[in-house]
Structure 1
Amino acid sequence: MTEHFNLAENLTQMNKKLAVSLLSLLFSVNFPLAGWAETVLEKVNRTGVLTAGVRTDVAPFGYTDKNNALQGYSVDLIKLIQQRLEKQLNKPIKLELKTVDLKNRFNQVETGKLDIVCEATSITPEREQNVDFSVPYFTTGIQLLVREADGERLDPTKASETQLEAVKESNITVGFLLGTTTDDEFRPIYPEAKWQVVGSRADGIRRLRAAEIDLMASDGILLLGELWKQQLDFKEFRLLPEQPLTFEDYGCILPKNSSQWGTMVNQTITSEDNTQLWNKWFDAKTGRFPYQRFQTSVKP
């Protein structure tokens, strides 16, 4: 009888241990799922922190000044989003700015490490498969930066037929950045050219000035921004052609399926506050980076 009682007691204890183990497993599975389901706005409201990504190599959208401080239109846009978040949530929100690059900018958002990235990212259907985008806040396009001395020879809209016949794609070296729309969409159009990877736009412009490459292909606004940041003489260069070869809409990178967060960001971008911010940077007469004036300055 005692043996039967001990066996029953042991089975009961084993069942209790099994139940505890199953509960532990259940909680270990459920907690991460609950955290994963938390929306961006819920997370920001809970933590009081907005984590955002910017870049330092895309002037005038994101760069560091001589004091190593972050500057740029996109940096100011994120700060405007933070201010509007504080009003919406009725509490202080700390802004944590992280530096991203061409390689990790999408992954940082996809994995939840960043709530948003605003810099100079073109909105494309391929990218929209993995992340969401805000409404566009700037439109530019791919252009070619050349030395002024080569402007007539390499500009298909200005060169004569004789000059164009003398210029063969296989004799032209074009600098470009990996992981950009120039790399993905523009480079395949001219497969015969000598495409040379450069580490940055600054590196590309250095090689261009040293005649190591003939052209630097990138978004026109970013090529001008790098010249501006380096305080180089715009008369040394020319952007070809005058009208961009493509049209690129820039938007902020957002987590997939974050509709409420996206609505808040879009409302900020379309707000009067952002119109004033945009003019502060890009107005043709009074802007910190008067885009039309810079375009004019690189024409012959």
Structure 2
Amino acid sequence: MAGAATAATVALTAEKAAAQAAPTSLLRTVLDRGKLIVGTGSTNAPWHFENEKGELVGMDITMGRILAKGLFDDASKVDFVREDPAQRIPNITTGKVDIVIQFMTVTPQRAQLVAFTRPYYVEGIALLTRPDAQNKSFDQLLAGGASTRVSILQNVDAENSVHQALPHAQVMQIDTQANVIQALESKRADAAAVDLSTVRWMVAKNPTRYADSGKKWFSMLYAAALRQGDPDWLNFVNTTFNVAMFGHQNELYDAAFKEFFGLDAPSRTPGFPSI
């Protein structure tokens, strides 16, 4: 109870919090401004897209609101700047946005240009199938050998990516993601190799139309990106994300995880740290 009592009696206002940050830190600038500016997208469900009301929603959008809640105790105090993925790094380095939260894959090359936060999702490749198909589980697809047909977006690694999971499958490289899914729907493909988040989203929204084969591989980290050289701002964002994902202020994260992936977030068990 000592920790809880301390938390209840010691509260920092935004002004007092700003005073703790270095004068040049973006943390102080954002607190003084009274709102957060987040660079993101608007066309990629379940990460960032418009709902039927025209509102910008998605897992990336929720992470922005979690950060605003941590800054101002108000999840609405955030402006979202819609940007093309090619503008993610330039908009950070030029200061157009405070942070980019736009399903950005962490790589050492990008880390030379921006500072990455702790990851908030581990992406991967997964196999989308049809619930009415004879072969819809991964074991069935694997047993199909060379007769199993898998559609995937055309790229230099497509063949190898599929064969890591299904060594003998026929690989159908297709020009757009929509046509990758269409090949599955028209039964030209037995499975579509797409992002794990896409599989979870589509199955959650249309369980009678799509199924998850149960296979996922090729992990990729999604994280937010900040300007380099600002440890106060980076530490604040990491702390806020950690509390939302692993601590006691997890309502927004858990609700979004359920809505956009159709899954309950893992339970937090008090005891040894799991961050």
TM-score range, shorter chain: 0.5 to 0.7
SS of the equivalent of 1:217 reads: strand
Structure 1 unpaired stretches of 5+: 1-36, 88-92, 178-182, 294-300
Give how far 1:281 is off. Answer: 2.5
1:196 matches 2:152: no
**In structure 1, which of residues 108, 121, 126 is the aligned counterpart of residue 109 of structure 2?**
126
Distance (Å, rounded) in 1 between the aligned partners of 2:37 and 2:48: 16
Does the C-alpha gap of structure 1 residues 102 and 203 become closer, same or farther in structure 2, counting only changes over 3 Å? farther
Map 1:250-265 to 2 at 5 A.
250-265=222-237
Residues 145 and 239, structure 1, Cα contact 8 Å, conserved in 2: yes
Cα distance per residue 1:105-155 (max 9 Å; x no partner): 333223322211223233233332322211122234211223345562784
**In structure 2, which of residues 241, 251, 255 is the aligned counterpart of residue 280 of structure 1?**
255
Residues 62 and 256, structure 2, Cα contact 8 Å, conserved in 1: no
1:67 matches 2:53: yes
1:216 matches 2:182: no
Does the C-alpha gap of structure 1 residues 174 and 205 become closer, same or farther in structure 2, counting only changes over 3 Å? closer
Give how far 1:204 is off. Answer: 4.2
Letter of the structure 2 residue corresponding to residue 120 of structure 1? F
Does the C-alpha gap of structure 1 residues 148 and 39 become closer, same or farther in structure 2, counting only changes over 3 Å? same
Give how far 1:214 is off. Answer: 5.5
Distance (Å, rounded) in 1 between the aligned partners of 2:37 and 2:116: 16
Residues 144 and 216, structure 1, Cα contact 8 Å, conserved in 2: yes
Cα distance per residue 1:27-69 (max 9 Å; x no partner): xxxxxxxxxx954234435654532022233433322110101
Letter of the structure 1 residue corresponding to residue 230 of structure 2? S
Map 1:12-31 to 2 at 5 A.
none
Decide which moves more: 67-76 or 186-195. Answer: 186-195
> 2:122 aligns to what?
139
SS of the equivalent of 2:81 reads: strand
Length-normalised TM-score, structure 2: 0.67
- The percentage of counterpart residues that share the same residue type is 20
Letter of the structure 2 residue corresponding to residue 196 of structure 1? I
> 2:271 aligns to what?
none
Does the C-alpha gap of structure 1 residues 129 and 210 become closer, same or farther in structure 2, counting only changes over 3 Å? farther
Residues 153 and 164, structure 1, Cα contact 8 Å, conserved in 2: no
Number of residue-to-residue matches in the alignment: 232
Letter of the structure 2 residue corresponding to residue 266 of structure 1? N
Give how far 1:264 is off. Answer: 0.8
Distance (Å, rounded) in 1 between the aligned partners of 2:191 and 2:261: 24
Give how far 1:263 is off. Answer: 0.6
SS of the equivalent of 1:114 reads: coil
Letter of the structure 2 residue corresponding to residue 250 of structure 1? Y
Residues 140 and 244, structure 1, Cα contact 8 Å, conserved in 2: no
SS of the equivalent of 1:252 reads: strand
Distance (Å, rounded) in 2 between the aligned partners of 1:274 and 1:119: 22
Give how far 1:196 is off. Answer: 2.0
> 1:86 aligns to what?
72
> 2:140 aligns to what?
158
Give how far 1:265 is off. Answer: 0.5
Looking at secondary structure, tell me which structure has more helix per residue: 1
Give how far 1:291 is off. Answer: 3.4
Distance (Å, rounded) in 1 between the aligned partners of 2:200 and 2:39: 23
Does the C-alpha gap of structure 1 residues 289 and 48 become closer, same or farther in structure 2, counting only changes over 3 Å? closer
CA RMSD for the aligned pairs? Answer: 3.6
Does the C-alpha gap of structure 1 residues 217 and 56 become closer, same or farther in structure 2, counting only changes over 3 Å? farther
1:174 matches 2:151: yes
Computing the radius of gyration from Cα coordinates, the structure with the larger value is 1
Looking at secondary structure, tell me which structure has more strand per residue: 2
